[in-house]
């Protein structure tokens, strides 16, 4: 692959001895790196390795405790996001950061509105420009849609559109592909290549090593805040990258599949939700992992939300152990043994201002109190999950806002699991989780299933669906297009149904 | 466990402020005041301050719950007047029939119920009617005051009882009854907020209502009950106030109580956006306001300027909190 443009071989960002401490603890140590103009620079590492911290320093969210950044050869002090923007650094943070009361185009142009004269906003121009940008990204999001009505993946696309409006010289993306499906990922990777051709430098963080290898020119591996290596991506295999991240050899990632145990635990009949779900029927056996695949907007999260009672059903029945249940609120769902892990970590999953303990027991708090909360019991349980999921945190009293994205995700998982559900709906359970921790979570899910819990696994990572599930329902336009079993669970077959080449027409 | 290499001292600074900031401010103010005026440290003066702040301090305790859950209640002042007035009417009505003690008990019960009804009205408008708390309670603030004026013909509710004032004027081992009640309620509320499911849920709802809803918390119920809590504290305060004065002025009683109560909560470190907060902080906040008033009086500052100082203190507290964020 021809990786650099001739004559533009210069270094755009150079860091010299960058370190960052939070209250005396170094989470980044002595990072020296030269990022070249027009390259795609990958950063990988375990959860909590310091990836987000590093790019937040480049993007002006944090200032380094020590060290110096050079931009275009000149030393710069990136005091805040404004400075970063002025010198041409755009950043898409790990967590969606849009104003949910505004609509799509208002968010895209927030702070850079087009004007007619000095005061009036040029809405028309912004609308059409936004439509153009979104069209470029191959999404059909309407520019005047309100943000809070978009899915996580759609919000992600809006963030990307927002970041590229200002023609940045450097575009930093922190796990942009988490929760995107293969189709959008392809669009995004293609966009990255196009940007690169225009001489834009892209810094890219991801836990999906396959795409890192596909799109990056060079890859930096971080471990515990230190640089392990910086190498050309072509010289590295996925396996090798993973090994460097973890610091030891990794074995196969997916555990052996478990046979379902026969009896039907959950049956859904003719479930419809106005505008998003049409006549969805399926059943879930004891100890089964039923996968749900499909493109963005296929209605998988909406289905989960209907099952836990946050979306009003227009028709259909939910039967647990052959008994019809009324599920009109998450409380009802919990009572019938249905738990949900949301794909939207910070919007739905966890309370960032609560500590690890209080988040863990948020749903199941009833188990921990008579009149007063039994603090000791609660803390013991939190410690149990810290060990089980290897959660990296300063202490169990730490507020979640100070945990890395992947570690927040693990807490979210613990929270949903703690009520002891019979049916566990996992919506993107490994979003933002590193390869090693992923394996631990897969093993854990397998243990759950072996102990008789049934899982519904919604995932945009086909590999995960294929590796974990004994049956896969493929959704398209709010319907189940087909249910695959055995050998038919493979990438091509799933994509056929997901895109409508096979299965019932919508 | 996997708490590797990151020592305990990384506890975020804002937590410290939330917990202790108002205490530090109180201590500082205390020292300054005792230097500025030798009279300040006299027991009688201290007790006076405590008694003066107890009426709005009690309301501030309930207000803490409302604000943590993400709401606000502007109607507490006029509700105090309305409840106080009706308590006195009840007292006068039953005084002749069932004896004074009986009448006092009945009046207090009526007062408490009325406080709950007032709180429930606010809560229903906000949760069922989906009206923003600020607007809803701005409306009921006007309504409660107007009802008070109407019932009393813009005059005064006067109690005929001679025993009733003993409640509000009395003391126990030298400390006034309202102070005891404020401290007692503070202990109870503190335990409820930090050690019970309800308290945890109040914080969760204020922190992120959506997360709370998905976590199977009945967010509307939690929000509704927080207005009941503040209604109850208003009733307690109204009883104490009316018994101390043995009367309630329909135009003046409870005036600006909402300001003082909200100020105490905010100075106590509870952010107006909700999600977290402490009861001790609110108590300290209330006492800080009391000491400031007391000092301004002693230093002979015009009473008309005292509002300015109070306003500056509130703004300053919020500024400091914003900086810490
Ligand atoms: N504001 C903060 N205050 C204190 N500690 C922090 C703060 N931000 C991050 N940390 C700590 O720094 C470490 C690195 O976090 P960072 O978010 O950079 O990890 P990451 O590599 O992006 O991980 P992930 O893959 O999970 O997103 C973590 O242990 C985290 O707890
Ligand atoms: Mg991160």
Question: Is A405's C-beta closer than 6 angstroms to any atom of ligand 1?
Answer: yes
Q: C-alpha A249: how far from its chain's center?
A: 26
Domain ranges of chain A: 4-246, 262-337+421-506, 352-419
Phi then psi for B259, rounded to 5 degrees?
-60, -50
Q: C-alpha B325: how far from its chain's center?
A: 26
Q: In this model, does residue A362 exceed pLDDT 70?
A: yes
CB contact under 8 A, A392 and B197: no
Closest chain B C-alpha to A415 CA, distance in angstroms: 9
Distance A447 CA to ligand 2 centre (A): 28
Average pLDDT over residues A174-202: 88
3-state secondary structure chain B: CCCCCCCHHHCCHHHHHHHHHHHHHHHHHHHHHHHHCHHHHCHHHHHHHHHHHHHHHHHHHHHHHHHHCCCCCCCHHHHHHHHHHHHHHHHHHHHHHHHHHHHHHHHHHHHHHHHHHHHHHHHHHHHCCCCCHHHHHHHHHHHHHHHHHHHHCCCEEECCCCCHHHHHHCEECCEEHHHHHHHHHHHHHHHHHHHCHHHHHHHHHHHCHHHHHHCCCCHHHHHHHHHHHHHHHHHHHHHHHHHHHCEEECCCCCCCHHHHHHHHHHHCCCCCCCCCCCHHHHHHHHHHHHHHHHHHHHCCCCHHHHHHHHHHHHHHHHHHHHHHC
What is the tens place of the pLDDT at every residue in A41-71? Answer: 999 999 999 999 999 999 999 999 999 999 9
CA distance B265 to B127: 22
Ligand nearest the Cα atom of residue A406 = 1
Whether A214 contacts A183, CB under 8 Å: no
What is the tens place of the pLDDT at every residue in A424-442? Answer: 999 999 888 888 888 888 9
CB contact under 8 A, B12 and A402: yes
Question: B211, B243, B105: which is closest to A415 by C-alpha?
Answer: B211
Our CA dihedral for B120, B123, B129, B134, rounded to 10 degrees, sits at 130
* Encoded tokens for A275: 């505008």
Q: Give the list of residues 6+ apart from residue A451 with CB closer than 8 angstroms, or none.
A: none
Whether A360 contacts A412, CB under 8 Å: no
SS3 assignment, position A392: coil
CB contact under 8 A, B191 and A373: no
Highest mean pLDDT among A87-91, A167-171, A499-503, B137-141: B137-141
DSSP string, A281-344: EEEEETT-EEEEEE-TTSSHHHHHHHHTTSS--SEEEEEETTEE----SHHHHHHTTEEEE-S-
- Higher-pLDDT residue of B124 and A136 is B124
Distance A47 CA to ligand 2 centre (A): 7
Question: Which residue in B has a C-alpha nearest to residue A363's C-alpha?
Answer: B215
Q: Which fold has domain A262-337+421-506?
A: Rossmann fold (3.40.50)
What is the tens place of the pLDDT at every residue in B127-179? Answer: 999 999 999 999 999 999 999 999 999 999 999 888 999 888 888 898 999 99
Q: Give the list of residues 6+ apart from residue A277 with CB closer than 8 angstroms, or none.
A: A271, A299, A302, A303, A306, A478, A479
Q: What is the band of A179 on the pLDDT scale with cuts at 50, 70, 90?
A: confident
What pTM was computed for the model? 0.86
Rg, chain B, Cα only: 20
Residues with CB under 5 A from ligand 2 (ion): A 52, 94, 404-405
Phi then psi for B249, rounded to 5 degrees?
-90, 125
Question: Which residue in B has a C-alpha nearest to residue A402's C-alpha?
Answer: B12
Q: What is the band of B307 on the pLDDT scale with cuts at 50, 70, 90?
A: confident
Q: Quote the domain boundaries for residue B272.
A: 46-324
What is the tens place of the pLDDT at every residue in A224-277? Answer: 999 999 999 999 998 899 889 888 777 667 888 877 777 999 999 999 999 899
A398 to chain B, any CB pair closer than 8 A? The answer is yes
Q: In this model, does residue B19 exceed pLDDT 70?
A: no
Q: What is the band of A203 on the pLDDT scale with cuts at 50, 70, 90?
A: very high
Closest chain A C-alpha to B237 CA, distance in angstroms: 27
CB contact under 8 A, A353 and B207: yes
Q: Give the list of residues 6+ apart from residue A106 with CB closer than 8 angstroms, or none.
A: A99, A126
Q: In this model, does residue A3 exceed pLDDT 80?
A: no
Whether A320 contacts B224, CB under 8 Å: no
Whether B141 contacts B262, CB under 8 Å: no
Rg, chain A, Cα only: 23
Direct distance between the N- and C-terminal alpha carbons of chain B, in angstroms, rounded to an integer: 30
Query: How many domains, chain B?
Result: 1
Whether B155 contacts B161, CB under 8 Å: no
Q: Give the list of residues 6+ apart from residue A365 with CB closer than 8 angstroms, or none.
A: A373, B197, B200, B201
Q: Give the list of residues 6+ apart from residue A187 with CB closer than 8 angstroms, or none.
A: A137, A138, A139
Question: Is A392's C-beta closer than 6 angstroms to any atom of ligand 1?
Answer: yes
Q: Is residue B116 part of a domain?
A: yes
CA distance A156 to A150: 9
CATH H superfamily, domain A4-246? P-loop containing nucleotide triphosphate hydrolases (3.40.50.300)
Predicted confidence at residue B69, as pLDDT, reads: 97
How many residues appear in chain A?
506
Whether A329 contacts A310, CB under 8 Å: yes
Highest mean pLDDT among A2-6, A7-11, A348-352: A348-352
Q: In this model, does residue B13 exceed pLDDT 60?
A: no
CA distance A235 to B107: 85
What's B87's domain CATH number? 1.10.3470
Question: Is A38's C-beta closer than 6 angstroms to any atom of ligand 1?
Answer: no
SS3 assignment, position A403: coil
CA distance B110 to B15: 41
Strands A471-476 and A289-294: parallel
Best B1, B69, B215 member to test A by mutation, with max A CBs in 10 Å, is: B215
Whether A365 contacts B197, CB under 8 Å: yes
Predicted confidence at residue A140, as pLDDT, reads: 84
CA distance B46 to B30: 10
Whole-number average pLDDT of chain B:
90
CB contact under 8 A, A351 and B9: no
Q: Give the list of residues 6+ apart from residue B71 with CB closer than 8 angstroms, or none.
A: B126, B133, B223, B226, B227, B274
Q: Give the list of residues 6+ apart from residue A294 with CB closer than 8 angstroms, or none.
A: A181, A300, A474, A475, A476, A481, A498
Interface subset of A 280-309, CB within 8 angstroms of B: 308
């Amino acid at each position: 692959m021809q990786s650099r443009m001739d004559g533009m071989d210069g270094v755009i960002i150079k860091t010299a001895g960058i370190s960052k401490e939070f209250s005396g603890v170094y989470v980044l140590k002595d990072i020296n790196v030269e990022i070249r103009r027009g390259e795609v620079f990958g950063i990988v590492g375990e959860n909590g390795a310091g990836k987000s911290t590093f790019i937040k320093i480049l993007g002006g969210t944090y200032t380094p405790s020590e060290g110096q950044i050079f931009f275009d050869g000149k030393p710069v002090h990136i005091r805040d996001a404004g400075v970063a923007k002025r010198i041409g650094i755009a950043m898409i943070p790990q967590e969606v950061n849009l104003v949910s009361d505004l609509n799509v185009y208002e968010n895209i142009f927030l702070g850079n509105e087009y004007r007619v004269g000095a005061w009036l906003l040029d809405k028309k121009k912004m609308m059409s420009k936004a439509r153009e940008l979104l069209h470029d990204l191959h999404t059909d999001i309407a520019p005047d849609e309100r943000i809070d009505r978009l899915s996580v993946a759609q919000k992600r696309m809006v963030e990307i559109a927002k970041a590229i409006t200002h023609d940045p010289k450097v575009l930093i993306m922190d796990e942009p592909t988490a929760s995107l499906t293969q189709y959008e990922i392809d669009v995004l990777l293609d966009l990255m290549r196009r940007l690169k051709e225009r001489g834009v430098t892209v810094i890219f963080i991801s836990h999906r090593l396959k795409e890192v290898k596909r799109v990056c020119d060079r890859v930096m591996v971080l471990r515990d805040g230190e640089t392990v290596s910086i190498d050309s991506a072509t010289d590295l295999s996925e396996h090798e990258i993973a090994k460097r991240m973890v610091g030891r050899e990794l074995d196969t990632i997916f555990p052996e599949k478990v046979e379902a145990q026969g009896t039907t635990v959950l049956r859904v009949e003719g479930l419809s939700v106005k505008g998003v779900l049409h006549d969805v029927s399926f059943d879930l056996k004891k100890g089964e992992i039923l996968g749900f695949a499909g493109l963005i907007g296929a209605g998988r999260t909406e289905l989960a939300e209907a099952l836990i009672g946050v979306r009003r059903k227009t028709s259909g029945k939910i039967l647990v152990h052959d008994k019809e249940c009324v599920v009109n609120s998450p409380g009802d769902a919990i009572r019938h043994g249905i738990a949900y892990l949301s794909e939207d970590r910070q919007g739905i999953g966890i309370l960032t201002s609560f500590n690890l303990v209080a988040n863990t027991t948020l749903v199941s708090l009833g188990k921990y109190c008579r009149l007063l909360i039994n603090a000791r019991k609660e803390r013991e349980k939190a410690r149990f999950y810290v060990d089980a999921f290897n959660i990296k945190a300063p202490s169990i009293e730490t507020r979640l806002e100070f945990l890395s994205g992947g570690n927040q995700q693990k807490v979210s998982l613990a929270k949903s699991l703690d009520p002891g559900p019979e049916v566990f709906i996992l919506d993107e359970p490994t979003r933002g989780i590193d390869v090693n921790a992923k394996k631990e979570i897969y093993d854990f899910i397998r243990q759950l299933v072996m102990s008789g819990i049934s899982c519904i696994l919604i995932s945009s990572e086909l590999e995960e669906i294929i590796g974990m599930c004994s049956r896969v329902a493929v959704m398209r336009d709010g319907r189940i297009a087909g249910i695959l079993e055995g050998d038919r669970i493979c990438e091509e077959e799933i994509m056929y149904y997901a895109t409508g080449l096979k299965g019932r027409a919508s | 466990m996997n708490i590797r290499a990151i020592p305990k001292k990384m506890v975020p600074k804002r937590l410290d402020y939330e917990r202790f900031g108002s205490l530090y401010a109180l201590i500082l103010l205390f020292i300054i005041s005792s230097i500025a005026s030798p009279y300040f440290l006299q027991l009688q003066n201290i007790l006076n301050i405590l008694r003066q702040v107890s009426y709005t301090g009690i309301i501030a305790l309930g207000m803490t719950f409302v604000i943590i859950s993400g709401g606000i209640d502007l109607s507490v002042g006029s509700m105090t007047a309305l409840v106080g007035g009706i308590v006195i009417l009840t007292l006068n009505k039953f005084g002749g029939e069932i004896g004074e003690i009986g009448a006092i008990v009945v009046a207090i019960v009526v007062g408490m119920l009325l406080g709950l009804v007032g709180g429930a009205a606010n809560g229903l408008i906000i949760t069922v009617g989906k009206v923003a708390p600020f607007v809803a309670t701005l409306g009921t603030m006007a309504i409660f005051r107007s009802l008070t004026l109407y019932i009393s013909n813009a005059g005064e509710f006067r109690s005929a009882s001679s025993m009733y004032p003993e409640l509000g004027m009395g003391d126990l081992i030298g400390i006034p009854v309202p102070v005891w009640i404020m401290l007692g309620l503070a202990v109870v509320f503190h335990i409820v907020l930090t050690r019970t499911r309800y308290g945890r849920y109040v914080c969760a709802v204020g922190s992120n209502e959506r997360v709370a809803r998905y976590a199977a918390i009945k967010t509307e119920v939690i929000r509704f009950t927080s207005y009941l809590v503040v209604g109850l504290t208003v009733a307690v305060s109204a009883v104490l106030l009316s018994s101390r004065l043995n009367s309630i002025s329909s135009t003046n009683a409870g005036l600006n109580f909402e300001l003082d109560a909200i100020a105490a909560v905010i100075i106590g470190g509870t952010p107006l956006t909700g999600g977290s907060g402490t009861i001790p902080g609110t108590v300290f906040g209330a006492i800080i306001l009391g000491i400031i008033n007391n000092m301004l009086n002693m230093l002979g500052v015009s009473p008309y300027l005292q509002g300015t100082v109070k306003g500056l203190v509130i703004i300053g507290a919020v500024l400091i909190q914003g900086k810490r964020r």
